[in-house]
Amino acid sequence: MLDGTPRLAFPDGADDAVIAEWNRSVRLAVRRLLDYSTESVPEVSKLEERRIGDLTLQRLAFGAGPDGHFRASLLYPSVSRPSRAVLVLPGRNGRHEQVIGLEPPDFPDRNVAERLARAGFATLTIDFGLRDAYSDEKRAGRDETSLIAHAMALKGRSLAALLASDAVAALRWLAAEPWVDKSSLGIIGHSLGGYMALYAALAYNQPVPIVLASCAGLYRSMFERDAVAGGAHALPGILQYADLPDLMGALAPAFLQVQHGDRDPFLPMADAGIAIERAAQIYARHNVPERFESSILTMSHGTNSDVAAAFFERAFSVPAMTQRPLVPPVRIEFSAAARRQILERIDRSLVTGELTLGSCGIEFERAAAMWMGTPEAVAVNSGTSAIETALRVVGVRGRRVLLPANTFFATASAALAAGAEVGFVDTEPLGLGIDPDGVRQELERRDDVAAVITVHIGGIISPRIGELIALCAEHGIPLIEDAAHALGSLLDGGKAGGFGRMAAFSLYPTKIITSGEGGLIATRNSADAAVARSLRDHGKRGFLANVHDRIGSNWRMSEVHAAIGLAHMESLAAFVAERRTAARCYDELLGGMRGLTVVREPAGSSSNYYKYMALLDEGVDRNQLKSALRERHGVSLSGEVYDTLCCLQPALEGRFEAKDFPVALGFAARHICLPIFAGMTRAQQDRVAHGLQQELDVQLSAGSIRSPGVKVHASV
């Protein structure tokens, strides 16, 4: 029996804020259950184009490869292709050729795509490919869709999730086509296709008018009465979140028409009536009751294309209700495959009871070492712990650690926690690293320096790191890399983490990859790695030994965090490649822009583009610029690296003066970091660049901006 109330049942009587959060939670639950996790537009190939009477037909393949991932048919009036477009998702018995009108329909209005095209809409019909997948012998009289759904379930996959994800991809492609009016894009689904339309619309990032035909009802009744479509219509686990009426209500504020036949043999009017009434109530609580429309029609389990066409006419005539989504400063993404992998590894840990310092952590360390140019990688619970551990390994207590004036406070706090004093050195302009000339001066006038830390700001490894290596070797002092920003970055082919005696990486959620919370230590020295592993576990000789050789702490990485990190680590190459592609696009868009100068990679440096940085001309009000971009253009800039110098933080009690660090201070005061993340679209980057130029022009016209006085980079 299906007991229990869905946890996201609509909260009757709640205020507007609670309702908005409920709506967001329902959509998030649907997205989690889909094999869908990207906002990119799919690759599409045209296979054929021909005239069919007064209509034009294009056969399309979605996805890479000769046959693509799925196929679809675009149909529109030949005289003039309309800018209004409707995605058509047929039921499981709808033969594709009948839906688009190439074959006579075997059921009233089966040719819904053809009828809507003749009504003046461009229609894109997905061929779900649910027919003829099995021979008559293999079907043995069984329902084909059920067989496919069950076969996928044996592999841990969901047919409904796959089909709905295809629908989202098709919607994204339509929305990106220049001939489509973004405010006149809709979706219609019949029967099984109606459920897919519902899930796709909830997962899509914009409200779109939607027609749901012959799919109203209650999940519980469907499964208790019979396994409709073998269960292929439902997302596995959906009922723990919401029943059909709540999902339909969560479409608000999108225009919604629910069609239902008074003679439907599969979905009784009693259940449909309950679902429709409940959805209407939710729309009313969203204050958009006029956008919900129910049509109880004299028909069987079908669709009425004329009623749908009239609905789309009305919906498209209303001013666009789309809300431009914010371009976020960063986006953390785990693909559906990665999420399944993470959950499987975590489940293995729960079953075995191996929750820390286990096989997943070992596998993670091995994968990480390949990216760090060192044979040894040690996983810990944070990037800060990684720095402190490295400093404890080399021994800095009671002595001084030199670090750049511009870095995150954790670099300094880790040194202080390791028992050292901190000394700061200005930034060098070529690669934003610690200035070797300043380090030389400190080493010549002090004899208490125990270590030098260099920081790869924004993912750039400074070409002057060779000078640091030589200086440290000359004075017998270890060089530590704070490579928190730089996993995947290179310099002359050498990997971040492989230049100093030890290196520390951060896996905080804003970084290129994340483990939720976590860090990594890289070293070539197996003895250093052994000490680091002991220190992370309270200085034990071994995991099972209650013997402590040294004073450490609890800096272990749990198996849960290792599972998350490992899934992301396996995508690091793709993430870096996407960021570098986005950076080249920014280079093009911003190259001649007035009011700022791009911070480019030095020769030989290959950044992972943790940050894409630009230096504002003197006089630009950075706070005003950031506020205007967010409020007027929907663009949120990333956090600076950093806006306040580490040496000037209040926690250091005013021990250092700004005048001693002019290059670092100039960079901190005037740089910005543009949004950049894997999966970022060209349209998002265009919006960032357009907004930047508009707002810089506003400030330029005020006459307060002057040309740069501090050169941050040799190529600037």
Helix ranges (H only) for 102-237 are 112-118, 136-139, 144-154, 159-176, 192-203, 219-225
The residue among 88 and 129 whose pLDDT is bigger is 88
Question: Is pLDDT above 80 for 231?
Answer: no
Please state the rounded mean pLDDT for residues 317-329: 75
Place of tokens 């309309």: 82
Rounded CA gap, 513 and 254, in Å? 35
Please state the rounded mean pLDDT for residues 9-23: 88
Please state the rounded mean pLDDT for residues 139-152: 69
The per-residue DSSP string of 660-676 comes to: G-HHHHHHHHHEEEE--
Q: Are 109 and 115 in contact (CB under 8 A)?
A: yes
CA distances from 268 to 192, 302, 547, 612, 663 (A): 16, 13, 70, 57, 74
The single-letter DSSP state of residue 548 is B
317, 270, 310: which is closest to 293 by C-alpha?
310
Residues comprising the chain, all counted: 716
Burial label for 504, CB within 10 Å (0-12, 13-18, 19+), is: buried
Which residue pairs from 632-635 have beta carbons closer than 8 angstroms and sit at least 24 positions apart in sequence?
632/691, 632/694, 632/695, 633/687, 633/688, 633/690, 633/691, 633/694, 633/695, 634/324, 634/325, 634/326, 634/327, 634/687, 635/326, 635/327, 635/675, 635/687, 635/688, 635/691, 635/692
Condensed to tens digits (0 to 9), the pLDDT of residues 288-313 reads 999 999 999 999 999 999 999 999 99
- 452 φ, ψ to 5°? -120, 135
Condensed to tens digits (0 to 9), the pLDDT of residues 447-473 reads 999 999 999 999 999 999 999 999 999
Question: Is pLDDT above 60 for 716?
Answer: no
Please state the rounded mean pLDDT for residues 533-542: 91
Q: Which structural domains are found in the chain, ordered by start? A: 16-317 (3.40.50.1820), 336-571 (3.40.640.10), 573-701 (3.90.1150.10)
Three-state secondary structure of 592-651: CCCCEEECCCCCCEECCCCCEEEEECECCCHHHHHHHHHHHHCECCECCCCCCCHHHCHH
Question: Is pLDDT above 80 for 156?
Answer: no
- What pLDDT, on a 0 to 100 scale, did the predictor assign at position 547? 87
- What pLDDT, on a 0 to 100 scale, did the predictor assign at position 224? 72
Please state the rounded mean pLDDT for residues 433-452: 96
Lowest mean pLDDT among 159-163, 273-277, 281-285, 451-455: 159-163
Rounded CA gap, 548 and 564, in Å? 30
- What pLDDT, on a 0 to 100 scale, did the predictor assign at position 573? 95
Question: Is pLDDT above 70 for 711?
Answer: no
Residues above pLDDT 70, as percent of the chain: 92
Rounded CA gap, 75 and 87, in Å? 11
8, 1, 11: which is closest to 241 by C-alpha?
8
Burial label for 141, CB within 10 Å (0-12, 13-18, 19+), is: exposed
Question: Is pLDDT above 50 for 40?
Answer: yes
Q: Token pair of 322, please?
A: 């789309």
Mean pLDDT taken over the chain: 90
Please state the rounded mean pLDDT for residues 34-58: 84
Question: Is pLDDT above 90 for 337?
Answer: no
Condensed to tens digits (0 to 9), the pLDDT of residues 256-267 reads 999 999 999 888
- 96 φ, ψ to 5°? -55, -45
Condensed to tens digits (0 to 9), the pLDDT of residues 72-85 reads 999 999 988 999 99
The single-letter DSSP state of residue 540 is B
Please state the rounded mean pLDDT for residues 688-697: 96
Burial label for 434, CB within 10 Å (0-12, 13-18, 19+), is: buried
Residues above pLDDT 90, as percent of the chain: 73
Rounded CA gap, 583 and 260, in Å? 50
- What pLDDT, on a 0 to 100 scale, did the predictor assign at position 308? 97
Condensed to tens digits (0 to 9), the pLDDT of residues 210-229 reads 999 999 999 888 877 655 55
CA distances from 632 to 194, 329, 331, 638, 672 (A): 37, 16, 21, 17, 18
Burial label for 339, CB within 10 Å (0-12, 13-18, 19+), is: middle
Rounded CA gap, 538 and 525, in Å? 21
- What pLDDT, on a 0 to 100 scale, did the predictor assign at position 1? 43
CB atoms within 10 A of CB 693: 18
The residue among 485 and 700 whose pLDDT is bigger is 485
Q: Token pair of 19, please?
A: 């309702």
- What pLDDT, on a 0 to 100 scale, did the predictor assign at position 191? 92
- 375 φ, ψ to 5°? -75, -20
- What pLDDT, on a 0 to 100 scale, did the predictor assign at position 5? 79
The pLDDT-based confidence of 521 (bands split at 50, 70, 90) is very high
Question: Is pLDDT above 70 for 557?
Answer: yes
At 167, the amino acid letter reads A
Rounded CA gap, 391 and 384, in Å? 11
469, 473, 481: which is closest to 411 by C-alpha?
481
- What pLDDT, on a 0 to 100 scale, did the predictor assign at position 709? 47
The pLDDT-based confidence of 3 (bands split at 50, 70, 90) is low
